[in-house]
Amino acid sequence: CRPLACAQLSKYEQPVVYFHNLKFDGPYLLNWAHDNGLQFAEEEGIPGTYTMLVTDRSVWFMGGIYNEDGKGIIIRDSLKKIPLSVAAIAKAYNTPMLKGSIDYKLYRPIGYEPTLDELRYIRNDTEIVARALKSHFDKGMNKLTAPADALEEFKHTVDFESVFVPTWWHVN
């Protein structure tokens, strides 16, 4: 982890970091964790380990990276909460900034210093998704996925048990 990013994240007890399309970024995170001596674990919170929930169809949901004292960073996929492209999120959530563009094919050697336009692009991409996520959280939608948020809201809208639990399940 870069020193500035680690310093910022260490301010929080157990920060949750979102990546929009974890399927793309996840392998880089796992390589970093492995290259830095962390071991894969099936349980969360074990010191010196990393976890990742990926289905057999390569659907990435969440994970964690835990340092030697067990303090961790939780990783989630914002695409599972907001299944839109960043450009579509900017329009749908009426953010004050739009998705820009950069030259993805430009060769950038190790040590490359990004241009001001590239930094703005990165800032806009992250801020667009952050604003959309905040609007979800402000409305109490704090589940891992959009369907889970919808189910939770639905359960509060109807008498779930009377509609979906057969009367013969109730034993008196």
Does position 52 have pLDDT exceeding 70, yes or no? yes
DSSP per-residue string spanning 120-147 = HHHHHHHHHHHHHHHHHHHTT--SSSHH
Q: pLDDT exceeding 70 applies to what percent of the chain? A: 92
pLDDT, one tens digit per residue, over 81-95 is 999 999 999 999 999
**Alpha helix segments (H runs only) across 17-109:** 22-35, 86-92
pLDDT, one tens digit per residue, over 139-166 is 999 999 999 999 999 888 888 777 777 7
Half-sphere exposure of 146 (CA within 13 A, CB side): 10
As a whole number of angstroms, the distance between CA 22 and CA 61 comes to 7
As a whole number of angstroms, the distance between CA 41 and CA 65 comes to 10
Q: Considering only 3-17, 72-86, 90-104, 144-158, which range has the smallest mean pLDDT?
A: 3-17
